[in-house]
Amino acid sequence: MLTLAELFDVVRHTPLYDSWPVHGPNLPQQPGDPFWLRLPTLGAGQLACFTSECQDCFPSGNRLFLSSGTQGKPKLMPFTDADLQRVAELCGRFSLLEGIDANTRSMVLLPMASWTVGRITMDGHRKAGAQVHGVDLHGGVTAWQQACDAIRPTVISSTPSVLAAWAPYYSGPKLTLVETTGESLLESERRLIEARFGAFVYDAYGLTECVVGVECAVRQGFHYWQDSVYVEILDPHLDQPLPTGAMGEIVLTSFQQGSLPVLRYRSGDLGRLAVVPCPCGRKEPLLYLHGRKEPNLALSRGVNLDRSLLEGALQAWGYNHLRVVWKGTPQSPAAPFLVDQFRPTLEISWRVDANTKEPSVLRRYLLDQFMELAELIHEGDLDLVLLPQRVGVS
């Protein structure tokens, strides 16, 4: 991984950061020190504008990959071979944590050309010693099952949308684990995939701009390695750090990429850092993901639902540790050929305690309070999924 000094050496030569105070002698000695906190943060719009308008700034040897576009228009990101090796090393750590090893036969079912995730997942599994078979998404469920029958994998890695679409038809071998990546994982998708594929799901969290972390066997958050990524939790509206354990925007600095350095990048995701060690015993810090930062949930048919009103109504009824996730129809390349098999889903999960009501009671309450939800559900344009969280969230 890049050291802090190496990262700032690249930053000083990157036009994206020309206006940042990174050219004088007073540079951070470590992430989070007073000089660090004087730096601005980088917005997704700024990065997208730079990568689309300044491709000539990238050396000719760089490889350009697209982000998934699940949060808007896809963004271009350049990677050198050294960058890809560093990201693959991190994915190798993910693989070893999950239990992938020399006895693993892995089927990586991901876009192999446009997305970095296909390339780095395959390389990460190889670094863990696995036998790896890359399968592109073209052809749909029938093609995936035929590839599976030929490969006979012990591990399958893909997007949640692809696995959820395949799940009702899966007839392959028993797996040791399933790895999900590339887009948000709903708890309802996790339960479906585990039931049909017969193995625990391990989810990974990251962006094309910065790969972050992976679940352990407890599967209550994402462990990350501090030599590969520095995670800050800032006020969603200010460049102000929040105390450990407080909910705020996840801001990321990557030590993986030297072609286009990613420094204090606002992810647009909300989360918090664990205040107690993970029950699994691992020493890597743990990040809990809460959902997107947007104040409005852009539902089907142009309906906008105020997230704060929804969460306030739930909290007034005693629901805490909420996770509200909106997942619209998956877009290519996350799940090509599958658009007709999905209904947009609003999933609400919470930690159960003595004051919480049954999901059926909560459903009636929400449909009474939010008529726009009731109409979309009645018209078949949205699924509302209510799930108690698994125990152990801290």
Question: How do residues 340-382 score in pLDDT, each as one tens digit?
Answer: 677 789 998 887 765 667 788 889 989 999 998 999 999 888 9
pLDDT at position 264 is 98
Which H/E stretch holds residue 180?
A: strand 177-180
The amino acid sitting at 99 is: G
Residue 16, CA distances (Å) to 58, 81, 137, 157 in order:
12, 21, 34, 34
178 vs 91: CA distance, rounded Å: 15
- As beta bridge partners, residue 306 has 296
Tokens standing for residue 143:
């093609």
Q: Hey, is 103 helix, strand or coil?
A: coil
- Band (pLDDT 50/70/90 cuts) for residue 224 is very high
205 vs 337: CA distance, rounded Å: 24
- Say how far residue 178 (Cα) sits from the centre of its chain: 16
Characterize 108-127 residue by residue with b for buried, 16 or more Cβ atoms within 10 angstroms of its Cβ, and e for exposed: bbbbbebbbbbbbbbbbbbb
137 vs 131: CA distance, rounded Å: 19
Cβ neighbour number for residue 15 with a 10 Å cutoff = 9
For residue range 59-93, what is the model confidence (pLDDT) as tens digits? 666 777 766 655 556 678 888 899 999 999 999 99
Q: Select from 228, 110, 111 the least CA-distant residue to 179.
A: 110
Q: Hey, is 317 helix, strand or coil?
A: coil
- Report whether pLDDT(393) > 60: no
In this prediction, residues 106-122 reach a mean pLDDT of 87
In this prediction, residues 285-311 reach a mean pLDDT of 87
Average model confidence (pLDDT) across the chain = 88
pTM to 2 decimal places:
0.90
For the ranges 41-45, 47-51, 175-179, 213-217, the lowest mean pLDDT is seen at: 47-51
- Band (pLDDT 50/70/90 cuts) for residue 125 is very high
Q: Find which of 8-22, 54-68, 284-298 is predicted with most confidence, using mean pLDDT.
A: 8-22
pLDDT at position 72 is 59
Residue 107 or 69, more confident: 107
Tokens standing for residue 258:
């030297």
266, 42 Cβ separation under 8 angstroms: yes
